[in-house]
Every structure is written in structure tokens, then in C-alpha cells.
A and B are shown apart, each in its own frame.
Chain A
Amino acid sequence: DAGITQSPRHKVTETGTPVTLRCHQTENHRYMYWYRQDPGHGLRLIHYSYGVKDTDKGEVSDGYSVSRSKTEDFLLTLESATSSQTSVYFCAISEAGTENTEAFFGQGTRLTVV
């Protein structure tokens, strides 16, 4: 498996609190992505990064922010968690853009907002 680790693996938080999820890679891949997985929706892109300090929005970015200060770390922050953000979050990495190379996924983080 590609060297990609997500933390925490599980988290329960209260509505209105900030939450940060971490993705750490040891592959030195340039591209990193955050997806959320919900029943009936498949995997939807939240944000992505194409280099240190280079990030952009995906299709479901409202309520989320990201930061990438080092190649190996990509942080996803829920500024003020809502129940609609209860989901399984996957980080992914790829050596080049996903039009040409495999995207490797982390183990996922199950987030519950109560």
C-alpha cells in the first residue's frame, strides 16, 4: 500500500465546533485530494492540492478549508461542523494529475457530527 495515513480514524464532534483532519504521505507525491463518501453519492471531491501552498476547490467545498504547508501533509478543516458534514472522508494522493496516474486512497476518517 502507498504510504498514506489519515488521522484520526474516527471522530465524534458537536455541531458548531471546528474539526481538523490530517492526511500524511511518505511518497513525495505532488497531488493530494480530499473526498467525502456518502451513500448514493459515491466519492465527491472537496478540495485538492497541486503543490505546497497550492490548493483549490472541488465540487463540494462549502464549509471546508484546506492547507498544505509541507509536501507530506494536507489538512482539511471544518470551520464550524454541521450534521450534514457527517461522512467518511478519504484523502488521496497521486504522482501526477489523476488523468494519467493512479490515485491512492488513505484508510478514511469516519466523522460524526451530533
Chain B
Amino acid sequence: GENVEQHPSTLSVQEGDSAVIKCTYSDSASNYFPWYKQELGKRPQLIIDIRSNVGEKKDQRIAVTLNKTAKHFSLHITETQPEDSAVYFCAASVRTGFQKLVFGTGTRLLVSP
């Protein structure tokens, strides 16, 4: 079935460093790739998304890149801050009668001061 793999499962960086989280997907028809951030005990919230007709998208310190040929996409966070510490989920749209999102297993990012 449809699958989204996410790596790494945990990532520790020093404040000010960059962080990169990578995802691969299996459905070549996927065309929407959102990223969600979930702080401890809170709900997941969308931080950035990208559609298949775009290769890269930036929003301040956050960027997402998409390689449709290789079926992988990545989240890049520059100049990390302690408040970036959270669990990040990637997702890909799949269509099996109805278009839905399949989520990766999550990456726990810890930014140390």
C-alpha cells in the first residue's frame, strides 16, 4: 500500500545549526506534501506545504524541497532555536478512491541552547 518513510526518528542539534528531515513516498501520483509540527501535548499544526509543480518553497527559516523523480522531499530548518524543538511529521497525498494524507512516523527534533 501507500507508504511514507521519514528519517531520522530523532535529531539533536545545537542552537543556530541547521536541521534536515527527509521523507520518501511510494505513490507516484502524490501531488501534495505538507509538513506538520507537533509540540509536546499539543495538536499537529501545518508549518509549510509544497505541491508537485514546485521544486522548492521557503518561509523564513523553513524550506521544503521536492524531487518527484526520486520521490523524496525534505524539510530544512536554518538557524534553529529552542522553540523549534518538537515532533515533525511529513505527509503525502494519495488517491485510492478518495484523496487522503499518509503520514510519516515523525522526527523528534531537540534544539539545545
Which residues of the partner chain B approach A105 to less than 8 Å between Cβ atoms?
36, 43-45
**B105:A100 contact, CB within 8 angstroms:** no
By beta carbon, the residue of chain A nearest B101 is A98
By beta carbon, the residue of chain B nearest A38 is B105
Q: A50-B98, A99-B95 in contact; A41/B105 too (CB < 8 A)?
A: yes
Interface membership of chain A positions 67-98, coded 1 if the CB is closer than 8 angstroms to chain B and 0 otherwise: 00000000000000000000000100000011
Which residues of the partner chain A approach B95 to less than 8 Å between Cβ atoms?
99
Q: How far is the CA of A41 from the CA of B104 in the complex (A)?
A: 8
Which among A40, A59, A108 is the interface contact of B43 at CB below 8 angstroms? A108
Q: Provide the main secondary structure of the chain A interface.
A: loop
By beta carbon, the residue of chain A nearest B93 is A99
Q: A41-B105, A42-B105, A58-B100 in contact; A99/B44 too (CB < 8 A)?
A: no
Please list 30 pairs of residues, one from A and one from B, whose beta carbons are closer than 8 Å in the complex, sorted by A's number: A33-B100, A40-B105, A41-B105, A42-B4, A42-B89, A42-B106, A43-B44, A43-B89, A45-B102, A48-B98, A48-B100, A50-B98, A59-B102, A90-B43, A97-B100, A98-B32, A98-B99, A98-B100, A99-B99, A100-B32, A102-B34, A102-B46, A102-B49, A103-B34, A105-B36, A105-B43, A106-B43, A107-B42, A107-B43, A108-B43
Closest 3 CB pairs of A and B: A99-B99, A42-B103, A105-B43
B residues apposed to A, CB below 8 Å = 1, 4, 6, 31-32, 34, 36, 42-46, 49, 89, 91, 93, 95, 97-106
A residues apposed to B, CB below 8 Å = 33, 40-45, 48, 50, 56, 58-59, 90, 97-100, 102-103, 105-108
